[in-house]
Amino acid sequence: MRIPKLCDACGGLRQRQISLSLLLTIITALPVAPSLAQRPPIPSPSSAPLELDLLTKPKDYVITANTIHPEGLTVPSLWWAQQNSEKKLLDNWIAYPASDKEPARVDLIVNQQIWSLLEYVERYDFVNRLGSAARNFGYNVRVFNYQKEPLATYTCNFNTSPALCSIQTSIKNKIGLQRSS
């Protein structure tokens, strides 16, 4: 019968200590992501009312799906998104430039019948795609139906790089109560 030497028994322990020490060194060297408390806040969506009359009587400062600038690209350009995949869902939009009171925003007006047929994930995907397109031009997004009911928002803090954004959707459950997520 062989009696293990004291060093043989400690070999595994020493190996574990080295591994643990190496792991702690790697972990402490990794960059630390800021906690939620340290991240700059994302502003609340605009509370300004939807101005549907601007679709038929536009003012100089707004852009709608019917606005065309003869000199070049009209910003924000959502026509490609509308023609490409959202033709039946996205009916129109009103884009407001930034002001002293609010950042630039686009109010999307969707076809309520099509919107109501979409699953939550499809609605989220729509808001995310159009919100991302508008974000590239420095605009936040709100989604409405023609009854002026708010359906979703895509709001960004443009003072950060990259911009921090948040999507909120309103969900009507089967008994008609509304909640935000």
More confident: 137 or 12: 137
Q: Is the pLDDT of residue 123 over 90?
A: yes
Q: How many domains does the chain have?
A: 1
Q: Do the domain assignments include residue 60?
A: yes
Q: Which helix (H) or strand (E) holds 116?
A: helix 112-117
Confidence category of residue 174, pLDDT binned at 50, 70, 90: very low
Q: Which of the residue ranges 53-62, 102-111, 145-154 would you say has the lowest mean pLDDT?
A: 53-62
pTM over 0.85: no
Confidence category of residue 141, pLDDT binned at 50, 70, 90: very high
Q: Is the pLDDT of residue 10 over 70?
A: no
Q: Do the domain assignments include residue 18?
A: no
Q: Do the domain assignments include residue 42?
A: no
Mean pLDDT of 46-59: 87
Q: Which helix (H) or strand (E) holds 28?
A: helix 6-29
Amino acid 57 reads K
Q: Do the domain assignments include residue 41?
A: no
Q: Do the domain assignments include residue 137?
A: yes
Q: Is the pLDDT of residue 28 over 70?
A: no
Q: Do the domain assignments include residue 164?
A: yes
- Predicted pLDDT of residue 124: 93
Q: Do the domain assignments include residue 3?
A: no
Best CA proximity match to 159, nearest among 136, 142, 141, 138: 138
More confident: 142 or 56: 142
* CB within 8 Å of 171: residues ≥ 6 apart: 120, 178, 179, 180, 181
Q: Provide the domain limits for residue 98.
A: 52-180
Residue 31 has which token pair? 């960059």
Q: Is the pLDDT of residue 109 over 60?
A: yes
- Predicted pLDDT of residue 72: 44
Q: Do the domain assignments include residue 26?
A: no
